[in-house]
Structure 1
Amino acid sequence: MIHFAVRENAAWCDLVCATHGRPGSLDTDAWSVSRRSPPLYPDAVTLRPGLDAGLLRRIDAGPGASVKDSYADLDLAGHGFDVLFEAQWLHRPPGSPVGHEALVPVTTAGDLKAWAHAHGGGSVFRPDLLTDPRVRILGLADGHGGWSGGAVLHDAGEVVGVSNVFTRDAAPEQVWAGVCAAGAGRHLVGYEQDADLATARRHGFRTIGPLRVWLR
């Protein structure tokens, strides 16, 4: 299942980069972009274990470059990179939701701008995402025209990727319950760390392998 999670994440990164006019390239080894990716997104995602630093030839490897080491086995320490963070890939098999669906679709450019502000990603999230049938941007309305939490679901065929889960004024449990309700009946994949990892596991996700992100 980890291979499905990795490839879904690479496809999501490619989709986001494409909305910024920077579509990536894909082969059996990795997904990558030759120009710097938007903020919060990697310049490369490894698609199999056992790669080496030759991957850096595919990207602009100068300051600010980042690589998602999907199998946590790539050593870039000798090439000017440090580990930005480590996390765990997650999988939730199809099943009943935990709680009810509290998240609602974000459908307009104005709502997306407010959602992105609440998320912290700002202009990373372009309106083109709203017209892609594979993408559901979901939010927990705060009752005042804004958003107190949210997430993105990306349908990659065999699995649905869960990413960009955030909370402001909402309880994390409420947002994760909404994610599970929105994705009920599908294999859900993603990755998390720290408190969000613990919350996801309480909602039926299990860890399926480690990853790390390297930053120069």
Structure 2
Amino acid sequence: MKSSITALAAHNNAIWCDAVCRAHDRPGEFHEALWLTRLGTPRFYPDAVTTTGVEAASAQLEAIADLIALDRRREWFVKDSFHCLRLESFGFKPLFDAEWIAMSGARPDVRHHEPGDRSTIVTDEAELSAWERSWVGEDAKAAAIRPPRVFMPRLLADNDIVFVSIQGEDGRAGGGILNRGADVVGLSNLFGSHMDRVWRSLIAVAGEMFPGLPLVGYEHGDDLAAAKLAGFETIGPLRIWRLPATAR
């Protein structure tokens, strides 16, 4: 059971990465063993995501070698979804390890949020811009050197993608993203000062928007601990690899 839902989680994540890249006019390619884009990605997003395990490692390594050969003057990132690739020979170094998570059975009772919490769906460009500023943790000083946008407004037209904003009585409490694909719903980009409340709210919204589908994602560190407290279980490791750019 765990191996099959891990594959669905990896495929869901590849679908999400492709949607983000397509919104930047950098479409990716779905192959039998991985997803990749040759056109560069927004910050925080990988150039390749493997979608099958060690049985396809040879094909994955070949595809990654061809990909990085396109331009060694920039850095490359690979999401090794089954933590089974040895990319050191290409010059990659591990960036961080994480765990896939899933909630596929009975869900905890999250109908009653913290008093005063309210979840809303982002529906227009102004709301999405404000959501992203909160996600980044941008303050007034940082706004003067604002980096390029990650989440483009055209994502709002996709019925399988939901940006959730969570407000508490003391202001914005946090938010996250839901994406439906591969017969599961991915939860990602969660943020907020009270992560227990954020997880509960996202689980509740997912149940309302996409009833009956398993919930998946990946986390590490304190965020993984928060996900477990919310009722998720770990279903397999992954690794993010980084290949530094060569000197120009």
TM-score (norm 1): 0.91
Aligned 8 A contact 1:91 1:190 in 2: yes
Select the residue among 46, 58, 62 that pairs with 1:54: 62
Q: Which amino acid aligns with 1:76?
A: L
**Structure 2 residue 108 is the aligned partner of structure 1 residue 83:** no
Quote the residue 2:225 is aligned against.
198
| 1:6-155 paired onto structure 2 within 5 Å | 6-50=10-54, 51-52=57-58, 53-56=61-64, 57-59=66-68, 60=70, 62=72, 63-99=74-110, 100=112, 102-120=118-136, 123-141=149-167, 147-155=172-180
> Secondary structure at the residue paired with 1:183?
helix
Distance 2:108 2:123 in 1: 23
Aligned 8 A contact 1:116 1:122 in 2: no
> Secondary structure at the residue paired with 1:197?
helix
Larger Rg: 2
Structure 1 residue runs of 5 or longer lacking an equivalent are none
Residue deviations 1:22-63 (CA, integer Å, cap 9, x gap): 111111111000111111110000111221432321354633
> Secondary structure at the residue paired with 2:175?
strand
Compare 38-47 and 115-124 and name the one that shifted more. 115-124
Structure 2 residue runs of 5 or longer lacking an equivalent are 137-146, 244-248
How far 1:97 moved relative to its partner?
Answer: 4.5
| 1:167-206 paired onto structure 2 within 5 Å | 167=192, 170-184=193-207, 185-206=212-233
Aligned 8 A contact 1:5 1:159 in 2: yes
Aligned 8 A contact 2:11 2:182 in 1: no
> Secondary structure at the residue paired with 1:103?
strand
Q: Which amino acid aligns with 2:27?
A: P
Quote the residue 1:156 is aligned against.
181
Distance 2:220 2:13 in 1: 16
Q: Which amino acid aligns with 2:163?
A: I
Kindly tell me the number of residue pairs found equivalent between the two proteins: 213
Quote the residue 2:144 is aligned against.
none
> Secondary structure at the residue paired with 2:82?
coil
Q: Which amino acid aligns with 1:123?
A: R
How far 1:143 moved relative to its partner?
Answer: 6.2
> Residues 61, 207 of structure 1: CA spacing in aligned structure 2 closer, same or farther, 3 A cutoff?
farther
> Secondary structure at the residue paired with 1:68?
strand
How far 1:186 moved relative to its partner?
Answer: 2.5
Distance 2:106 2:134 in 1: 30
Residue deviations 1:74-97 (CA, integer Å, cap 9, x gap): 111121211111000011015344
Quote the residue 2:191 is aligned against.
166
How far 1:148 moved relative to its partner?
Answer: 3.1
> Secondary structure at the residue paired with 1:7?
helix
> Residues 97, 138 of structure 1: CA spacing in aligned structure 2 closer, same or farther, 3 A cutoff?
farther
Distance 1:112 1:35 in 2: 24
Aligned 8 A contact 2:9 2:184 in 1: yes
Distance 1:10 1:61 in 2: 22
